[in-house]
Structure 1
Amino acid sequence: MGEIAMLDWKANLDALVEETMAFAKSVRVEPLVPRTVVEPNRLPSMNWTGSEREEIARRVARFKAHQQRFKREREDYAASELKRMLARRY
């Protein structure tokens, strides 16, 4: 009786492996996120009517103004969150 049980176990295992392989071949995996092509941001072309130094200075000034705006927005947000948390506390 021991040999019969061993043969059944092996037959069941072989059947399970075969069924699993068939299932794995039938499953089609789709990517979770659709692939998109991201174009890099292009800098505007340089204005060659003035000197390169003036163009660089204008770009640096725009960049600094942009960074200052971000800094103000972060500080305003942090202050509003702190005010909201303190209001809940009391």
Structure 2
Amino acid sequence: MKWIRERDALIAQTLAFVQSVTGKKDEILQPGAPSDSPAATVEIVAVEAVTAEIDPPHPTPQPQPVKLPPARASGDFRSEMQARIANFRKHQERFEREREEYCAATLTKLRAAICDPSPRPPAEK
């Protein structure tokens, strides 16, 4: 079973971390390690959740009710969405217009450079 190997690897990794933090090896927690006393055994058992009531040192304040904004009418939501979509379309049209203008300006410069027979110095070899 894969989960058993993963569990064992996690336990080994946790033990290595504890040993690196404390600076000593805990012989009791290592599986297969010889122990000095016969009563030093580790048993793994399932633990169920335990609840305990703790008395707070002072009374907790009562939570204040949260005021929610009024619910929108469906027509209000619809008009807001239509306005957002119209703004988005305007934005996209502006971007497209700017791209077209840039392309036209670049092509004009390119055509002018091709038609202008300015003498160029010969390339050195």
**Which band: TM-score by shorter chain?**
0.3 to 0.5
TM-score, scaled relative to structure 2: 0.33
Bigger relative CO (Cα 8 Å, ≥ 6 apart): 1
More helix by proportion, 1 or 2?
1
TM-score, scaled relative to structure 1: 0.45
Look at both structures and tell me which one has the larger radius of gyration over its CA atoms.
Answer: 2
